[in-house]
């Protein structure tokens, strides 16, 4: 059986590349992208798809990567885990894709990472949050072109500790699924290490996709915690914030919302000033360091013209994956003396690679984890926008807040002490500046 | 139809042979076919109950039970052996099937369906809820088992799993066929046609149905174990009600009266879904829904009936020709 | 748990139950008359909600009198129920009344799958939110906690009106009585010359309108995202099964049980919140398979 297949594979390779040792320039660079096109998470998956198409169009207009145009093939993660796994196989083995971007869902990242390793295909985990994958195994073919839950939560907590150092009580309202649980594990572990005197007064995990949070809002209104944390996203976060706003809860407690950058525009003015917002990275359509850059501005407006909304963090994550793709290929071509590289050469080029999407540059660490800066800010209402924007922004240096190589996130967070808060490198920005 | 049975057998064998050689021609199809056959095993379970006229809206729960129990077992054993993991998953499904079956076989039709749905939703919610044990919605990684102590690389393991699943599909398909022909199986269809008469004959309908229920749970569990192993991941979604609906959908697509239909339906379903999702990612659900509508409205006997009719026509034509 | 908290939990439970009831009662009526478990019922809820949100956002954007949003919600529900309900009943369901129940169920499952994608094609994947009606009605204070009048007063009132209205309609009007007659004994009713086709159409449109109304009334308080229909349909199944198939008043009580069970769980055992509806369903069905208020079916010999 195996010899048969090996023979066929050899035949296919021979006919594809001819007999020359160096790879010939292919007619196109094929990239498989798993993203949510259906289901509730398509609020992230759709904008990312549109963004990817716009960015690739731009690359192809200037001649592609190293003269080779890029083609994207999308897989709907909303069709379920087994669909993603079998489509991943089909794209790699039949469509012969060069690189895979997978995925948004942490569950799918878990399933696909070992698969990519076994198939020997370069895979970028472009959006999933789970911190576990590189902490549990070593990979050659799998890279993460963004941060993971630990720096995202830690940055949020550090901001909170500076912005509201005296808070005594906190409640959490997270979606009842892996992300909601994991992110609270990380946040609460770090909180116990950095400010042990805080009391957790309620841990609520309403159903994923719950249409109504009245009971949670009532209970929180009765408890009056100083701070309410919610790592929810999409429709769930919108519903929770609106129902809380309608009933005055946002006047009573400070909300900490590490994913709310993706909801700002939809929430409009119902999100009042003075609440803490994160973006899973330094992702913000008014990024304080780039908002005057014509390319950055141009993309933001073009995206808005195409979709009716400003880009949200998954679009930025996608831009990083595409930037990594281009940077890796250009580096591999250079290393290959200008000739089109073998796939293994592209994988080699990933080591220590630095690339820049729509945010600050990201660097790949020796454990294949990307070091991505984190931007956290406080809501403010301004005249130019009919929705809350960010003020008092802080950008955190990823080297300080990302779990060190070879360590387990939870153990690392436990080892932190309160003086860690002042030891991290930050840059401050205001909206007006 | 007996004069045709040689034809049917040849067709089934030819199809099985066709499936068996597909992966050598198109390596990527191996995973798809394994998944389809595994799903076919689960659908076979639903088909058994359909003989008794009972539709379960919750049978994906046994798929999830099989998949999760095999995963837990494998993790406890540091991977475990393929045979142990398969048996463990199936036996757990049988145990659950027996316990749940004792309750649900007292009910018929809509109540039977609803109660199964209720049990499956409780299980689904618990799998999502007990995050620290089940990994919540991200699910659990399935460790690759050994085979008789031999550790395998992915390609070999998947190859073995594919041919094993194909063999199981043929073997169990034949066994279920025999079971449905047996007095116990005939009694199952009597539950559908006239249960009271059955009881006048001194046969306990509940007992008959319980046996069928446990058989169906075992088949779904087996399918679940294989799906988990191929996917390398188990998630609560395996047991969601939409998945249960899908199993019934496939049973009808293939033809509910027939063992072969389960596998034919599963293969066609997977292929349609894969291509619909690949080439019309925005509307794959709509395409599947459309196929289902067409089948129910114009070919309620499913693919098997379509095949049977065309064979009949063929024979009729050869006979009228001089 | 203090009496105060118990009061709060009760109020939350009622508001939630009101919405669930409106959807479930439509489902149970359709089943009672047509003996079809309509999986596509959840799609009516979703499409009703999306249409209502579009109308409310449209009215607000056009700068019309804000109070017009309330007739707008109603219009969305009736429009969806009448147009989509009639189309589906006439074009599809009439072809399958003589088929096996499993085929009927699968047809509605197919419609559900198709409508899921239709929603996405029409409204996209961005969450919709049209909170205008909630802001118009303002807040009410109960033991120091703010509630929206919309959830605390309007929703339960509408649900109560629906319940009373349905009761009167079914008992006092000719069409209503025909529906009851067909529910109780279809063969006898048709033998007596009742036009079952008309009754089926009427019931289906009415039931669908109720689902769409549930969606329309939910739209000001919840984000509309792909997949809301799938969740609502299982919840309504639970209500219908607990109450007993075809039971209108029973559905109200079952919805209350689920609503209160859920809100008390948030205070007492938050971990159980998700499982509550299905646990109640399993327990009730194990003790009384025909549901709390259901009638035992006669067995045919």
Q: State pLDDT tens for residues A8-37.
A: 444 444 444 443 345 678 999 999 999 998
Q: Which of A370, A392, A421 is the last residue of a domain?
A: A370
Please check the confidence at residue B138 and state whether its pLDDT lies above 60. Answer: yes
Mean pLDDT (chain C, rounded):
86
Question: What tokens appear for A276 in the block?
Answer: 């803490």
Nearest to C150 by CA among C89, C205, C216, C199: C216
Domain boundaries, chain C: 21-227
Residues 6+ apart with CB under 8 A from B107: B115, C285, C289
CA-angle at C149, arms to C146 and C155, nearest 5°? 130
Omega before residue A28 within 30° of 0, cis: no
Q: Of the candidates A206, A209, A216, which has its C-beta nearest C231's C-beta?
A: A209
Same domain, A345 and A265: no
Residue C177 distance to chain A (closest CA, Å): 35
Place of tokens 């850059």: A293
Token couple for C123: 């409204």
Which residue has better confidence, A285 or B83?
A: A285
Q: How far apart are CA B201 and CA B196, in angstroms?
A: 9
Q: Are A16 and A91 members of one domain?
A: yes
Number of domains in chain A: 2
Give the whole-number percent of chain A exceeding pLDDT 90: 70
- CA-nearest of A371, A170, A177, A382 to A256 is A170
Neighbours of chain B (3+ CB pairs under 8 A): A, C
**Cβ pair A330, A66 in contact under 8 A:** yes
Residue (of B234, B89, B247) closest to B168 by Cα position? B89
Query: Which residue of chain C has the CA closest to A40?
Result: C226
Which chains have 3 or more CB–CB distances shorter than 8 Å to chain A?
Answer: B, C
Segment 169-188 of chain A within 8 Å of chain B by CB: 176-179, 181
Please enumerate in sequence order all residues whose Cβ is within 8 A of that of C195, keeping only pairs 6 or more positions apart, or say none: none
Q: Which of C21, C117, C125, C235 to mutate to test the interface with A (most CBs of A within 10 A)?
A: C125
Q: Which of B27, B141, B285 sits opposite A110 (nearest CB)?
A: B141
* Residue B232 in contact with partner chain A when CB distance is under 8 A: yes
pLDDT higher at C105 or A82: C105
A22, A157: one domain: no
Question: Residues, chain A, total?
Answer: 433
Yes or no, beta carbons of A107 and B128 under 8 Å apart:
no
pLDDT tens figures, A325-339: 999 999 999 999 999
Percent with pLDDT over 90 in chain C:
27
Stretch (H or E) spanning A203: strand A199-204
Contacts of B277 in chain A (CB under 8 A): 75-76, 79, 83, 87
For the segment A398-425, the average pLDDT, to the nearest whole number, is 93
Q: Average pLDDT of chain B? A: 82
Q: What is the CATH number of the domain that holds A182?
A: 3.40.50.2300
Give the confidence band of B317 by pLDDT, cuts at 50, 70, 90: low
In-domain check, residue A286: no
Q: Which residue has the higher pLDDT, A357 or B296?
A: A357
Domain containing B35 — which CATH number?
Answer: 1.10.3470
Site of tokens 């291509």 = B275
Selecting from A215, A239, A246 the residue whose C-beta is nearest the C-beta of C223 gives A239
Model confidence at A61: pLDDT above 80: yes
DSSP class of residue A248? T
A38, A123: one domain: yes
Helices and strands in chain A: count of H runs, count of E runs:
16, 16
For chain A, the straight-line distance linking the first and the last C-alpha, in angstroms and rounded, comes to 67
pLDDT over 80 at B102, yes or no: yes
Residue with tokens 């993971």: A148
Is there a domain that residue A18 lies in?
yes
Q: Please compute the mean of the pLDDT values over residues A412-429 and round it to a whole number.
A: 93
Q: Is B314 on the interface with C (CB under 8 A)?
A: no
Nearest to C278 among B113, B118, B242 (CB): B118
What is the rounded CA–CA span in Å between residue C107 and residue C104? Answer: 5
Question: In this structure, how many other beta carbons lie within 10 angstroms of the beta carbon of residue B314?
Answer: 11
Q: A160 and A193 share a domain?
A: yes
Contact residues, chain C, for A206 at CB < 8 Å: 266, 273
Look up residue C299 and give its two tokens. Answer: 């067995």
What percent of chain B clears pLDDT 70, i.e. is strictly above it? 95
Segment holding B214, helix H or strand E: helix B205-231
> Rounded to an integer, what distance in angstroms lies between the CA atom of residue C106 and that of residue B248?
8
Say yes or no: A270 and A386 in one domain. Answer: yes
Question: Shortest CB distance from B27 goes to which of A76, A86, A93?
Answer: A93
Please list the residues that pair with A35 across neighbouring strands.
A76
Q: How confident is the model at residue C297 (pLDDT cuts 50, 70, 90)?
A: low
Q: Which residue of C has its CA nearest to B103?
A: C286
Quote the pLDDT of residue A289: 94
| A136 and A158 share one domain | no
**DSSP letter at A21?**
S
Q: Does A218 touch chain C (CB under 8 A)?
A: yes
The answer to whether A11 faces chain B, any CB pair under 8 Å, is no
pLDDT at A20 (0 to 100): 38
| Residue of C113, C289, C301 with shortest CB distance to B286 | C113
User: How near does any CA of chain C get to the CA of B46, in Å?
Assistant: 12
What pLDDT does A7 receive? 45
pLDDT tens string C217-269: 988 888 888 778 887 888 888 898 888 877 888 899 999 999 998 888 888 87
Give the residue from chain C lying closest to B120, CA to CA: C278
Best-predicted range by mean pLDDT (A343-347, B196-200, B262-266, C139-143) = A343-347
First to last CA, chain B: 22
Residues A134 and A155 in one domain: no
Query: Which letter, b or e, does each residue of B130-158 get, where b requires 16 or more Cβ atoms within 10 Å of its Cβ?
Result: ebeebbbbbbbbbbbbbbeeeebeeeebb
The count of structural domains within chain B is: 1
Structure tokens given for A130: 């789970």
- Judged against a pLDDT cut of 60, whether residue B318 lies above it is answered with no
Q: Do B297 and C301 touch (CB under 8 A)?
A: no
Q: How far is CA C186 from the centre of its chain?
A: 24
CB pairs A-B closer than 8 Å: 105
User: What are the tens digits of pLDDT across the range C138-163?
Assistant: 888 888 888 889 888 999 999 999 99
From CA A91, how far away is CA A103, in angstroms rounded?
14
Look at residue A256 and tell me whether its pLDDT is greater than 70.
yes
User: What is the percent of chain C where pLDDT is above 70?
Assistant: 97
B42 CA: distance to closest CA in chain A (Å) = 15
Residue A359: pLDDT above 90?
Answer: yes
pLDDT at A40: 79
Chain B residues lying within 8 Å of C117, measured CB to CB: 282-286, 289
Range of the domain at B227: 2-320
| pLDDT-above-90 percentage for chain B | 14
Residue C298 CB-density burial (10 A; 0-12 exposed, 13-18 middle, 19+ buried): exposed
Which of A193-197, B126-130, C200-204 comes out lowest in average pLDDT? B126-130
Does the pLDDT at position A281 exceed 50? yes
Q: Are A130 and A103 in contact (CB under 8 A)?
A: no
Q: What is the pLDDT of residues A191-206, one digit of tens each?
A: 999 999 999 999 988 8
**Owning domain of residue A189:** 150-279+373-429
Q: Minimal Cα–Cα distance from A15 to chain B, Å?
A: 16
* Distance in Å, alpha carbon of C70 to nearest chain B alpha carbon: 33
Asked if residue B124 lies in contact with residue A177, where contact means CB atoms within 8 angstroms, the answer is no
According to the model, what pLDDT value does residue A11 have? 43
DSSP-derived secondary structure for A310-351: ---HHHHHHHHHHHHHHHHHHHHHHHTTTSPPPHHHHHHHTT
What is the distance between the alpha carbons of residues C279 and A346, in angstroms, rounded to a whole number? 54
Give residue for tokens 């400010």.
A195
Burial class (CB in 10 A: 0-12, 13-18, 19+), A27: exposed
Least confident of A397-406, B192-201, C105-114, C212-221: B192-201
Cα–Cα distances in angstroms (integers) from residue B174 to residues B41, B48, B177, B303, in the given order: 12, 13, 5, 19
Report how far apart, in Å, the C-alpha atoms of A287 and of each of A313, A398, A430 are.
11, 17, 11
Q: Are A384 and A149 in contact (CB under 8 A)?
A: no
Asked if residue A269 and residue A139 are part of one domain, the reply reads no
Query: pLDDT band for position C136 (50/70/90)?
Result: confident
Question: Chain A contact for B277, CB < 8 A?
Answer: yes
| Higher local confidence (pLDDT), C200 or A317 | A317
Phi, psi of B141, deg, nearest 5 = -70, 140
Q: Does residue A155 lie in a domain region?
A: yes
Contacts of C109 in chain B (CB under 8 A): 245, 248-249, 289, 292
Classified as helix, coil or strand, A41 is: coil
pLDDT of residue B315: 66
Looking up tokens 């003075």, which residue turns up?
A274
Q: Render the burial of C35-46: b for 16+ CB within 10 Å, e for the rest.
A: bbbbbbbbbbbb
Residue A22 in contact with residue A217, Cβ under 8 Å? no
Burial group, residue C103, by CB count within 10 angstroms (0-12, 13-18, 19+): middle
DSSP symbol at A281: S
Calculate the average pLDDT of chain A.
Answer: 89
User: Is residue A26 located within the same domain as residue A125?
Assistant: yes
Which 125-144 residues of chain B touch chain C by CB within 8 A? 125-126, 128-129
CA distance B221 to chain C (A): 22
> C127 pLDDT band (50/70/90 cuts)?
confident
What is the reported pLDDT for A311? 95
Report the chain B residue with the minimal C-alpha distance to residue C291.
B111
Lowest mean pLDDT among B1-5, B315-319, C237-241, C270-274: B1-5
């Amino acid at each position: 059986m195996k010899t048969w297949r090996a023979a066929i594979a050899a035949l296919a390779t021979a006919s594809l590349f001819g007999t020359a040792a160096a790879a010939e320039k292919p007619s196109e660079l094929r990239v498989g992208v798993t993203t949510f096109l259906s289901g509730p998470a398509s609020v992230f998956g759709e904008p990312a798809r549109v963004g990817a198409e716009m960015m690739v169009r731009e690359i192809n207009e200037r001649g592609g990567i190293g003269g080779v145009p890029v083609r994207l093939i999308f897989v709907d993660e909303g069709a379920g885990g087994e669909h993603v796994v079998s489509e991943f196989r089909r794209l790699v083995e039949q469509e012969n894709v060069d690189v895979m971007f997978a995925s948004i869902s942490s569950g799918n990242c878990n399933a696909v990472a070992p698969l990519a390793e076994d198939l020997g295909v370069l895979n970028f985990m472009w959006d999933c949050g789970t911190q576990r994958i590189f902490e549990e195994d070593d990979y050659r073919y799998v890279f993460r072109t963004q941060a993971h839950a630990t720096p995202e939560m830690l940055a949020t907590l550090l901001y909170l500790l500076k912005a509201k150092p005296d808070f005594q009580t906190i409640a959490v309202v997270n979606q009842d699924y892996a992300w909601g649980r994991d992110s609270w594990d990380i946040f609460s572990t770090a909180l116990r290490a950095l400010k042990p005197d805080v009391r957790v007064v309620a841990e609520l995990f309403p159903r994923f996709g719950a249409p109504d949070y009245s009971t949670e809002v009532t209970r929180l209104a009765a408890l009056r915690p100083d701070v309410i944390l919610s790592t929810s996203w999409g429709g769930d976060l919108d519903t929770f914030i609106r129902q809380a706003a309608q009933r005055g809860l946002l006047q009573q407690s400070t909300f900490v919302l590490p994913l709310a950058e993706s909801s700002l525009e939809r929430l409009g003015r119902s999100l009042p000033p003075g609440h803490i917002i994160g973006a899973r990275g330094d992702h913000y359509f008014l990024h304080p360091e780039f908002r005057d850059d014509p390319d950055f501005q141009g993309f933001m407006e073009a995206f808005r013209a195409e979709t009716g909304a400003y880009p949200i963090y998954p679009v930025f994550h996608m831009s990083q994956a595409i930037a990594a793709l281009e940077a890796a290929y250009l580096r591999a071509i250079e290393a290959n003396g200008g000739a089109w590289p073998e796939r293994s050469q592209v994988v080699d080029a990933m080591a220590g690679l630095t690339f820049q999407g729509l945010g600050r540059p990201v660097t790949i660490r020796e454990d294949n984890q990307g070091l991505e800066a984190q931007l956290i800010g406080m809501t403010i209402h301004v005249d130019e926008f009919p929705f809350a924007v960010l003020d008092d922004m802080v950008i955190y240096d990823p080297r300080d807040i990302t779990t060190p190589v070879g360590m387990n996130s939870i153990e690392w967070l436990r080892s932190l002490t309160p003086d860690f808060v002042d030891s991290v490198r930050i840059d401050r920005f205001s909206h007006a500046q | 139809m007996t004069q045709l049975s040689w034809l049917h057998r040849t067709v089934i064998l030819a199809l099985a042979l066709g499936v068996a050689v597909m992966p050598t021609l198109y390596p990527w199809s191996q995973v798809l076919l394994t998944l389809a056959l595994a799903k076919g095993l689960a659908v076979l379970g639903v088909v058994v109950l359909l003989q008794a006229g009972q539709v379960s809206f919750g049978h994906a729960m046994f798929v999830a039970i099989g998949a999760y129990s095999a995963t837990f077992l494998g993790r406890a054993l540091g991977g475990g052996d393929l045979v142990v993991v398969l048996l463990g998953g199936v036996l757990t499904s049988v145990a659950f099937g027996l316990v749940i079956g004792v309750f649900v076989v007292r009910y018929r039709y809509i109540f039977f369906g609803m109660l199964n749905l209720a049990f499956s939703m409780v299980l689904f919610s618990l799998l999502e809820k007990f995050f620290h044990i089940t990994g919540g919605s991200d699910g659990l990684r399935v460790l690759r088992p050994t085979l008789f102590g031999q550790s395998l690389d992915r390609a070999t393991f998947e190859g073995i799993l594919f041919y094993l699943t194909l063999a199981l599909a043929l073997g169990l398909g034949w066994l279920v066929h025999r079971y449905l022909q047996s007095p116990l199986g005939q009694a199952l269809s009597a539950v559908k046609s006239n249960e009271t008469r059955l009881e006048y004959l001194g046969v306990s309908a509940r007992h008959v149905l319980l046996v069928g229920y446990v058989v169906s749970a075992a088949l779904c569990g087996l399918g679940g174990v294989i799906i988990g192993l191929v996917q390398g991941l188990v998630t609560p979604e395996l047991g969601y009600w939409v998945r249960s609906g899908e199993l019934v959908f496939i049973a009808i697509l293939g033809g509910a009266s027939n063992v072969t239909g389960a596998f034919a339906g599963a293969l066609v379903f997977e292929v349609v879904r894969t291509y619909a999702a690949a080439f019309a990612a925005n509307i794959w659900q709509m395409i599947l829904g459309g196929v289902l509508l067409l089948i129910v409205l114009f070919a309620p006997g499913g693919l098997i009936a379509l095949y049977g009719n065309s064979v009949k026509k063929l024979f009729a034509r050869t006979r009228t020709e001089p | 748990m203090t009496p105060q908290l118990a009061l709060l939990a009760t109020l939350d439970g009622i508001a939630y139950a009101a919405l669930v009831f409106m959807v479930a009662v439509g489902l149970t009526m359709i089943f009672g008359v047509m003996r079809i478990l309509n999986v596509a019922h959840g799609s009516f809820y979703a499409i009703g909600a999306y249409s209502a949100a579009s109308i409310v956002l449209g009215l607000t954007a056009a700068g019309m009198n804000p109070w017009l949003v309330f007739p707008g919600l109603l219009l969305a529900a009736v429009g969806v129920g009448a147009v989509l309900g009639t189309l589906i009943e006439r074009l599809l369901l009439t072809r399958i009344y003589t088929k096996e129940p499993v085929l009927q169920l699968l047809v509605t499952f197919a419609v559900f799958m198709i409508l899921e994608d239709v929603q996405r094609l029409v409204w996209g994947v961005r969450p919709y939110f049209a909170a205008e009606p909630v802001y118009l009605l303002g807040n009410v204070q109960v033991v120091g906690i703010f509630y929206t009048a919309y959830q605390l007063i309007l929703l339960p009132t509408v649900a109560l009106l629906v319940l009373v209205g349905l009761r009167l309609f079914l008992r006092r009007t000719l069409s209503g009585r025909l529906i009851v007659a067909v529910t109780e004994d279809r063969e006898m009713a048709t033998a007596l010359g009742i036009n079952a086709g008309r009754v089926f159409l009427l019931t289906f449109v009415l039931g669908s309108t109720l689902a769409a109304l549930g969606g329309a009334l939910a739209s000001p308080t919840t984000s509309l995202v792909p997949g809301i229909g799938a969740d609502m349909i299982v919840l309504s199944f639970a209500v219908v099964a607990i109450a007993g198939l075809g039971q209108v008043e029973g559905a109200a009580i079952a919805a209350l049980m689920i609503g209160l069970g859920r809100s008390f769980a948030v205070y007492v055992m938050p971990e159980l919140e998700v499982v509550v509806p299905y646990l109640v369903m399993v327990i009730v069905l194990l003790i009384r398979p025909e549901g709390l208020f259901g009638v035992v079916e006669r067995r045919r010999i």
